[in-house]
Structure 1
Amino acid sequence: MARTTPGVTRQRLIDEAMRLFSTRGYAATSVADIQAACGLTTGSGALYKHFPSKRALLEEAVRRNLETVSERAAAATAERPGGEDPRAALERMARVVWEVLEGDRDLIRIMLREFDGFPDLFERMWQGVLAGLYRQGAAWIAAQRELGNIETGDPEATAAVLLSSLTYYPLLRIMIGHTPGDLDPEPFLAAWVEHAAATLRLGRHGDRVAGAGSA
């Protein structure tokens, strides 16, 4: 077997462990299983050269995931030079939210299925992934309201409603292989943007709907 550098072996251990945890379950996957999946001798103890335990390996995967998510989430709400049409911004942010959730399907599947065994890790993922997206969404809505681009009474509640429907699509697909209505991504996304635009009282090109907010 070809020699590998320590860094490559460490990443391979994480990748194969996540794949096995997500398909077999955490408890049903042994250290020997992970080593074998990496092409390592099962009784060599090679995993322990990089991680003190199987749980430590999972914790490192969560840490790396949160770093990646933080970068992607920042991109979702990054200010565009010269401003950006709010309707176009809704679609752009929706696509980044989906990218964030689809970017580590195995880890999300593990966390949702293994919640009882790892409540502390689940909480870190919630705060680092979904809670962060909700906060950034609410901040964007509040900023757009200040600019007069949208109308809403409660940015936090509005963001929660819009993002919950948006995140439900990839989470359902990750967990059971189906989507709401078994819709393909593009029709769902187009309908979501229209729904969000109506909720925020946007016109066809980002202008507020005529008469919005009037009796």
Structure 2
Amino acid sequence: MARSTPGVTRQRLIDEAVRLFSTQGYAATSVADIQAACGLTTGSGALYKHFPSKQALLEEAVRRNLETIADRAATATTPAEQPGGEELRVTLERMARVVWEVIEADRALIRIMLREFDGFPELFGHMWQGVLAGVYAQGAAWIREQQELGRVEVDDPEATATVLLSSLTYYPLLRLMIGRTPGDLDAERFLATWVDQAVAALKPRP
């Protein structure tokens, strides 16, 4: 077997550990399982050359996850500039799809968090904040900006952003948890109605 570089082996360990923790659970996944999934000899102790424990590996996976989420979430509530500007409805739909893409891209770690939260409340509490709290703050900031520009009328931007984003994120999270969607609606039908409700809540000015 060809020898992998240390960096590649470390990332491969993280990727395979996340996949195994997500599919069969943290407790049920052994260090030997992770090493075997990476094509390493199960009794070699190769994992310990990179991580002091299985938990340390999980913590590193969450840390890297938060870094990538921070980059992606920054675009979730920042509409792309287009000639002539975007209408509010088009902007909201685009933003909603980006939020869903952020959650979908991190579905394995989110599934681990939902399943293993009781065992690692502080670790996954930080992850939850990284996944959603930043998006809520950016959503509120965007609504305030639109209000200052005279485009919408909103009494409480923070609460409005929280209500809109909570309903939006509940759809993919419920699908991750139980494989069902709210009201058993398909994604496009849910999204179209969510945009309608978001426009009504923001009360755009003529």
Q: Which runs of 5 or more structure 1 residues have no equivalent in the other structure?
A: 203-207, 210-215
Structure 1 residue 32 displacement after superposition: 0.7
Q: Does 1:185 align with 2:187?
A: yes
SS at match of 1:8: helix
1:118 maps to: 120
Q: In 2, Cα distance between the equivalents of 1:77 and 1:105?
A: 20
Aligned pairs for 1:107-186 (under 5 A) are 107-186=109-188
1:212 maps to: none
| Alignment equivalent of 2:104, drawn from 83, 102, 123 | 102
Q: Give per-residue Cα distances to partners, 1:155-196, cap 9 Å, x unaligned.
A: 111111100100001101111111112222222111111111
Q: In 1, Cα distance between the equivalents of 2:162 and 2:155?
A: 13
Which region of structure 1 is more displaced relative to structure 2, 167-176 or 118-127? 118-127
1:194 maps to: 196
Q: Contact 2:89–2:199 at 8 Å: present in 1 too? A: yes
State the identity %. 78
Change (3 A) 1:116 1:51: same
Q: TM-score normalized by structure 1?
A: 0.90
SS at match of 1:76: coil
Structure 1 residue 136 displacement after superposition: 0.6
SS at match of 1:151: coil
Q: In 2, Cα distance between the equivalents of 1:75 and 1:130?
A: 13
2:44 maps to: 44
Q: Which runs of 5 or more structure 2 residues have no equivalent in the other structure?
A: none
Structure 1 residue 126 displacement after superposition: 2.1
Q: Does 1:84 align with 2:86?
A: yes
Q: Give per-residue Cα distances to partners, 1:67-91, cap 9 Å, x unaligned.
A: 1111111112335446433222211
CA RMSD of aligned residues (A): 1.5
Q: Contact 2:77–2:135 at 8 Å: present in 1 too? A: no
Q: Contact 1:86–1:149 at 8 Å: present in 2 too? A: no
Q: In 2, Cα distance between the equivalents of 1:104 and 1:76?
A: 15
Q: In 1, Cα distance between the equivalents of 2:61 and 2:43?
A: 23
Q: In 1, Cα distance between the equivalents of 2:73 and 2:21?
A: 26
Structure 1 residue 59 displacement after superposition: 0.9
Q: In 2, Cα distance between the equivalents of 1:79 and 1:160?
A: 18
Q: In 1, Cα distance between the equivalents of 2:161 and 2:91?
A: 14
Q: Contact 2:76–2:99 at 8 Å: present in 1 too? A: yes
Q: Kindly provide the amino acid, as one letter, of the partner of residue 33 in structure 1.
A: D
1:71 maps to: 71
2:14 maps to: 14
Q: Give per-residue Cα distances to partners, 1:80-118, cap 9 Å, x unaligned.
A: 446433222211111111111111111001111111111
Q: In 2, Cα distance between the equivalents of 1:23 and 1:176?
A: 14
Q: In 2, Cα distance between the equivalents of 1:125 and 1:51?
A: 20
- Count the aligned residue pairs: 204
